[in-house]
Structure 1
Amino acid sequence: MDFSLIRRDQAQPTQSLCLLGASGSVGGTTIRYLKRVPGIRLESVSVHSSLEKLQQLLQEFRPELACISHEDAFDYGIDDLKSQFPAVRFFRGADGLVEMVQESRADTVLTAVVGACGIRATVAGIESGKKIALANKETLVTAGPAIQAHQAFAKNSSSTACIVPVDSEHNSLFQLLEGQNLDHVHRIVLTASGGPFRDWTAEQIQKARREEVLNHPTWTMGPKITVDSAGMINKGLELIEARFLFSCEPEQLDVRIHRNSIVHSMIQLKDGSFHLSCSQPDMIFPVAHTLHYPESVPRAHPEMSFPEAWPALSFEMVDERFPGFMLCRKAMAAGGTAPAILNAANEVAVDAFLKDRISFSQIPETIDRALQSMPIQQTTELEELIAADEKTRSDLLQKLGALSAKK
């Protein structure tokens, strides 16, 4: 267990920010925090397709660079945006996202885009020597072996790149581990709300409707992450991410359902004791910590309450009602391209579910078939990991297309 990706000695407080995914939930929280701290400048920003949101941000923050990652949305709105904001340089599509990061003068890149499209942009930030505030799970789930092996994170590297996790569980875990002798840590435990089906039977979950899946009891998130949470796949992806962030072995990682979402992570020391990290379920806490790190957040967040206001804390095991979670553990143990295959299959399956092409129970079935049919390769080459991702997507989209044609 170590902090070889975080590289605490290289981290500096954020003064200028390149925000990728400003129209999502983490991006929105980041904007909310930037309005409280005038010392951090939004230097560059991206949205996927929300032209209205981008227009608001350009008007309020006046960044130098902006990207619209959805190419059709870019083509539709670019002429109007250029006429309103002639001083802004605009970038188009996924390639434009990478180009914007490369040209950005910001010291920090916060990657809050959803999906594997965030991988190359994150790598571009690493290769530019920036602090990476990482909120994109897929960077480490799909490309974790390549990120770990990147020359920027070698022991003798002169790079100024570092990764600080934004995800609430990983960020709280980092804060717990930073004050510990890592040789004393026996186990890492991430918590999960349990999603909307924590009290449902396996038979009920099998028949879950779209509106039930998207009805998360605690967090307000985008549809893809909300679906992942309902099947506990998001927590399995977070285990894989934690393995690379903290250089853990799979057997050192565990999950507990914690309905209150007050405790975000725990560590168990070798003497058997547990240390817990707690805060209200609001992403303002990890976002602020990441931006200010290695300095402390300058003031208390008004969103926090004192312990006497908290509900009683309780924890439960994750069981076989969530086969997607078990598949994540299987892929983590297999290593190599297995997590990339799992993640790609999940993204395709969730998209199909949200378009009413498959049922909720078919999401883990689709993932399982992909893991069984695709060859698993042990590699640290980024292009080979991305190729496994792309091959999985291509094969599944073809099969789903054939299935739709039969209907």
Structure 2
Amino acid sequence: MKKIAILGSTGSIGRQTLEVVQQFPEELAVVSLAAGKNRQAFLVQCIQYRPLVVSLETEEDAKWLKLQLAEQGLYPEIHYGIDGLVRVATCEEASVVVTALSGAVGLIPTCAAITAKKQIALANKETLVAAGHYVTKLAAEHEVSILPVDSEHSAIWQCLHGEDKKSVRRIILTASGGPFRKLDRTSLEQVTPAMALKHPNWAMGQKITIDSASLMNKGLEVIEAKWLFNLDFQDIDVVIHPQSMIHSMVEYGDGSILAHLGMPDMRIPIQYALSYPERWFNDLPRLNLTELMGLTFEEPDTERFPALALAYQAGKQGGSAPAVLNAANEIAVHAFLAGRIRFLEIPMVVDKTLQNHPPTNVSSLEEILFIDQWARTEATRILSNY
């Protein structure tokens, strides 16, 4: 039996991970859970799954949870904050840590889990965006596997399985294009948070949904793919695939392209990361090929959606630039959701932050965290002029 720790258990990926656990009670068990502010949903999870170690974002919520669980006769270890995330990620009984947090907050507990030799099921792409070189080196030193949970990276991982990686010509990440792929610039200027949160194919958290609408999510995935699969940026392409049935592809040197197809359901890649190297039967909805009305592909328009080009730029610059890109984007997205800036101003804030930061080499976690905080402060300063 695999024993699971989940960072971000009340978020979209966390909840779907627990659904997978429910389907396989003889193969999977939850031993530790961490969540943010959604304490009521977290209480229900703690009562249902009875983890040994739990954590919430604040001390106040942790004290509340302790009282609520005591009434149920449950007495797990209860923690809070970053220290709590680390404690959940390094729970002695856990063998696999699902990192389903949103944003760079996942970096410290993920590194702690790697140091504790836990297998990582990675759904927190920001960890590799901000610190890909450091994290992959740390994983190699501790002989820890990083298994992708994102549907696109899971697809690439599966298409590479059993193949000679030297024969890979390129990988092709597919993107839905989000809800605005046909809008002109004038229309994009009128986009509201409510409009941007209506993704046509996927049910996701707020931050990743906005990133999907701006194509920044695909840019972050490009950087993540570079580190997961040890590729150059020139070998990573993006195509818009509105139907979201092909989750990504690998083109080999002989001209063959292997594609991964499936329903747009995150429980499938989550399950594969948890079951690997096995595949388990499940009762999830199946893709009916005869009902498909066609599969189409388009070039991404980086004029209307410059975030993708910014991500390529930062990735190629390397060093501290991806961490700056990621942190500035988090600040800008939150400002957009709060109604402080317009949709098209998200990449503008990111671009200005990057321009104000000459990339430097980073070799330690402390340096990466310093750069992350600098970028957040700088992006906030830039926002004060809007």
Q: TM above 0.5, one fold?
A: yes
Query: Cα–Cα, structure 1 residues 68 and 207, in superposed 2: closer, same or farther, change >3 Å?
Result: same
Alignment match, 2:140: 153
Alignment match, 1:315: 297
Alpha-carbon distance in 2 for matches of 1:247, 1:232:
22
Alpha-carbon distance in 2 for matches of 1:85, 1:203:
58
Alignment match, 2:20: 33
RMSD: 1.6
Within-5 A mapping of 1:45-84? 45-84=33-72
CA contact (8 A) 1:18 1:45 kept: yes
Structure 2 residue 237 is the aligned partner of structure 1 residue 254:
yes
Alignment match, 1:119: 107
Structure 2 residue 371 is the aligned partner of structure 1 residue 379:
no
Alignment match, 1:140: 128
Alpha-carbon distance in 1 for matches of 2:222, 2:60:
35
Alignment match, 1:364: 347
Q: Which digits, 9 at most, give the CA deviation of each residue in 1:308-332, with x for residues without a partner?
A: 2223111111012101111001001
Alpha-carbon distance in 2 for matches of 1:289, 1:138:
21
CA contact (8 A) 1:66 1:100 kept: yes
CA contact (8 A) 2:54 2:84 kept: no
In structure 1, the residue corresponding to 2:222 is in which secondary structure?
helix
CA contact (8 A) 2:319 2:362 kept: yes
Which of the numbers 250, 255, 265 marks the counterpart of 1:282?
A: 265
Alignment match, 1:205: 188
How far 1:244 sits from its partner (Å)? 0.3
Alpha-carbon distance in 2 for matches of 1:24, 1:207:
29
Q: Which digits, 9 at most, give the CA deviation of each residue in 1:67-126, with x for residues without a partner?
A: 112455335544334443542111111221112222341100000010111011111110
Which of the numbers 321, 330, 346 marks the counterpart of 1:338?
A: 321
CA contact (8 A) 1:143 1:386 kept: no
Give ranges in structure 2 of 5+ residues lacking alignment. none
Alignment match, 2:165: 182
Alignment match, 2:3: 16
Q: What is the TM-score normalised by the length of structure 1?
A: 0.91
Alpha-carbon distance in 2 for matches of 1:283, 1:209:
26
In structure 2, the residue corresponding to 1:33 is in which secondary structure?
helix
CA contact (8 A) 2:320 2:359 kept: yes
Alpha-carbon distance in 1 for matches of 2:78, 2:70:
8
Query: Cα–Cα, structure 1 residues 275 and 386, in superposed 2: closer, same or farther, change >3 Å?
Result: same
Q: What is the TM-score normalised by the length of structure 2?
A: 0.96
Which of the numbers 269, 274, 281 marks the counterpart of 1:291?
A: 274
Query: Cα–Cα, structure 1 residues 76 and 359, in superposed 2: closer, same or farther, change >3 Å?
Result: farther
Aligned residues: 384
How far 1:383 sits from its partner (Å)? 1.6
Letter in 2 for 1:389: D
Alpha-carbon distance in 2 for matches of 1:302, 1:117:
31
Give ranges in structure 1 of 5+ residues lacking alignment. 1-13
In structure 1, the residue corresponding to 2:97 is in which secondary structure?
strand
Letter in 1 for 2:369: I
How far 1:160 sits from its partner (Å)? 4.5
CA contact (8 A) 1:128 1:161 kept: no
In structure 2, the residue corresponding to 1:117 is in which secondary structure?
helix
CA contact (8 A) 1:348 1:393 kept: yes
Q: Which digits, 9 at most, give the CA deviation of each residue in 1:164-194, with x for residues without a partner?
A: 0000000111000112111111010010110
Alignment match, 1:304: 286
CA contact (8 A) 2:328 2:375 kept: yes
Alpha-carbon distance in 1 for matches of 2:59, 2:350:
28
Within-5 A mapping of 1:102-113? 102-113=90-101
Q: Which digits, 9 at most, give the CA deviation of each residue in 1:205-258, with x for residues without a partner?
A: 122122211111111111111110000000000000000000100000011110
How far 1:399 sits from its partner (Å)? 4.1
Alpha-carbon distance in 2 for matches of 1:178, 1:53:
37
Query: Cα–Cα, structure 1 residues 22 and 85, in superposed 2: closer, same or farther, change >3 Å?
Result: farther
Structure 2 residue 324 is the aligned partner of structure 1 residue 324:
no
Alpha-carbon distance in 2 for matches of 1:215, 1:81:
36
Query: Cα–Cα, structure 1 residues 82 and 389, in superposed 2: closer, same or farther, change >3 Å?
Result: farther
